[in-house]
Structure 1
């Protein structure tokens, strides 16, 4: 099954973007090649831009505290594993403390580094990070891979409490809600006035089907149409019936 996640508000959309960016940094920084380390640094700059658009630290602290209170109530439920609950609460407490220990604005350690900001400015220009534009960066890219990786990890480390926080929130979000089996007749599915308040939709479809879902959702209706994947022309609806699993995820 291929899973498609569709955020229903800007906050969850931002967290999913950050998750993708942090995963990309981890992947590229673990490699050896200079081009891969360049990709890791450019992705770090993207994280810097995304986290600067909102008070990410405060939002995460508030959400973690809200989830902590909600989970504490579950202690009264005899069907809940005490050990599992304590582990989640311990993770939330540790993540909250690490966020509180962050000083200054997110990414301030990078913004105060003139060398990094010079690279960031040039990297935003197509082909702007060539060796004749940034000879000192060209020199850095030819250092021993272990030295470059050490620098990347040093720049990433102060941002890790943010990653720790949003991963807990997304984990709780993904494990909420019930999954229902539906059929999109001739590639189209509509659900009116479901009365569900959700933060994200999780749709799973057979990976062998040559189609992808296009999702449009608001508080009044949910519309899903499956279109043929890889079409180079105007998207064409997949006119066969499509069975899929749908989960309304809510914090």
Structure 2
């Protein structure tokens, strides 16, 4: 049994290494969520930074706060949590399901709702932080975070690493609920889509579908192509373009896998 499990893991790793997955949102809500996920990954990657790469963190933080300010992220996530929770509840009496796993997921979603209902506006303490606000204002100016523009930032960057790390960790605690909830919701949505094989002939593929939030396109890495998607939730088309202009040798008939989530 252990041997078969190891074979399955090896096959999955080979598939992951030989293929690349592209994701394309089909509505504004999913577009916002994927951008937030990208920025949260940037923050988690660069949160313990040095002086010379500090702006990677603050650029990502500023862009994330900008998205939160312009969209009702909290309201949309609460609606999605409640919707996914109802789906889980409807599955719990189906024969053969892992009721313990479903119960754990339902409890996790209830905890998310409790945290959201007891919290202030999403990211509000970060928006009100004068130090972060000063950096965000200067980020709009090319090179605007030089030491003579922001001497307070220059002083902060020369503080001991441990002290800076502690403050950054405290900042990130204010968006932990966003990070955890978004990961859970997107994982659930992605798992609803099953990959199916298609062939794109004459470099055009069109699909008419139901209410789809996200499409995931998996193609062989060796093809060295990327998809160009146009359309909306019920109807969309896909074309594949080469990474390098003029290299059209791999786009006559491309086999790819598509998951609609």
Answer yes or no: same fold by TM over 0.5: yes
Q: TM-score, normalised by structure 1?
A: 0.90
Distance 2:230 2:63 in 1: 27
Match of 1:13 in 2: 31
Match of 1:152 in 2: 168
Q: TM-score, normalised by structure 2?
A: 0.87
Deviates more, 1:54-63 or 1:132-141: 54-63
Q: Contact 2:230–2:238 (CA<8 Å) still a contact in 1?
A: yes
Pairing 1:179–2:195 present: yes
Q: How does 1:21-32 map to 2 (within 5 A)?
A: 21-31=39-49
Match of 1:243 in 2: 255
Distance 2:206 2:176 in 1: 40
Distance 1:185 1:219 in 2: 23
Match of 1:97 among 101, 114, 131: 114
Q: Contact 1:186–1:238 (CA<8 Å) still a contact in 2?
A: no
Match of 2:177 among 161, 168, 176: 161
CA RMSD, 1 decimal: 1.9
Deviates more, 1:39-48 or 1:9-18: 39-48
Match of 2:222 among 187, 208, 216: 208
Distance 1:227 1:109 in 2: 44
Which blocks of at least 5 consecutive residues in structure 1 are unaligned?
Answer: none
Match of 1:47 in 2: 64
Post-superposition Cα deviations, 1:198-250, rounded to whole Å, max 9, x if no partner, equal 0000110011112111111235632111111133x8x969533111110110x
Bigger helix share: 2
Which blocks of at least 5 consecutive residues in structure 2 are unaligned?
Answer: 1-18
Match of 2:20 in 1: 2
Match of 1:36 in 2: 53
How many pairs does the alignment contain? 243
CA 221–113 in structure 1, closer or farther in 2 if over 3 Å, else same: closer
Distance 2:74 2:225 in 1: 38
SS at match of 1:80: coil
CA 238–73 in structure 1, closer or farther in 2 if over 3 Å, else same: same
Match of 1:62 in 2: 79
Distance 1:207 1:137 in 2: 43
Deviation at 1:60, TM superposition (A): 1.2
